[in-house]
Amino acid sequence: MQLPVFIDSTHYSDAERLITNYGEEAGLEAANRADKSRSLGNHLHYCKWRQVERLCVLLSIDQSIGTVH
């Protein structure tokens, strides 16, 4: 599994907000927002929402992935 690149702390805030509002469907909501951004030609928001989608999935897993220090 390739881990997401954590670029901005706002991605975490957005993921947290989506998880609070959408629960298990948070990743799907982020994917929908990414698709909408792509269809509008906004590549920056597309990339942002894909990162948020990956972060939502990562936060929903109950175990550690990768190296834990």
Averaged pLDDT, 45-64:
89
| Percentage of residues of the chain with pLDDT beyond 70 | 86
Q: Is the pLDDT of residue 37 over 60?
A: yes
Query: Diameter of the chain by CA atoms?
Result: 41
Does residue 37 contact residue 46 with C-beta atoms inside 8 Å? yes
Per-residue pLDDT band at 18 (split at 50, 70, 90) = very high
- 10, 33, 50, 53 from 57: Cα distances, Å: 16, 15, 11, 6
pTM: 0.81
Provide the pLDDT for residue 67.
Answer: 72
Residues ≥6 apart with Cβ < 8 Å to 4: 51, 54, 55, 58
